[in-house]
Amino acid sequence: MVDALGGITDLVNNAGMGRNKPLHAYTDKEWDVIVGVNLTGTFHCMRAAIPTLLEAGGGSIVNNASLNALRPLPGEAPYSAAKAGVVNLTMTAAVEYAPRLRVNCVSPGLIETPLTAMVTSNPAWRDAAERGTPLRRVGSADEVAAVIAFLCSDAAAYITGQNVVIDGGAGLPSLQADSLLRTIMDSMSGQSSTEP
């Protein structure tokens, strides 16, 4: 497969999935799937690519973590724990494989993708998220991709073991997540109170 691709110079691990409910309500299977996709999958891809990258003389790895790795949200324990593991896995690999490989990760906040459409397509929820973000908007996938491309490029030749947060400042004390969650919870409790 490596020959078919013409070799490998960079690896980007970009997979994620999650659910939202209290920690004690997650089943073993749900935990295994969420941690498997978010952390174990990253490990498997790194383990497969690293020998090829080393044999080729070096390269770059960028893992996709999440703002949740640093500022976890209620209801997302397996996802947040797995993404925190991705950050540490990144730093560990950066130490192990330097100077031949550079290993970094990105931690996006709320980014407009099909996975976040439930939030971004709801005007009240989107407004709450944007009000809680210093840059006053939801990020785009292109903005995350641009940071990843930079980390893979020679312009980032002296950067390794770093976690670059891409969140429009939402992780600062502007409390985007709290504002958004309050709006979501208020709207959901209003719905449930009208149900028979």
pLDDT tens per residue, range 101-149: 999 999 999 999 988 998 999 999 999 999 989 999 999 999 999 999 9
> Taking a C-beta distance cutoff of 8 angstroms, is the pair 186, 128 a contact?
no
Predicted local confidence at residue 193, as pLDDT? 41
> pTM for this structure?
0.85
First to last CA, the chain: 57
pLDDT tens per residue, range 66-104: 999 998 888 999 999 999 999 999 999 999 999 999 999
Q: Show which residues are catalytic.
A: 79
Predicted local confidence at residue 184, as pLDDT? 79
Q: Classify residue 17 by its DSSP letter.
A: -
CATH of the domain spanning 2-111+139-168, picked from 3.90.230.10, 3.40.50.720, 3.30.460.10, 1.10.10.10: 3.40.50.720
18 Cβ contact partners less than 8 Å away, ≥ 6 residues apart: 34, 38, 76, 78, 79
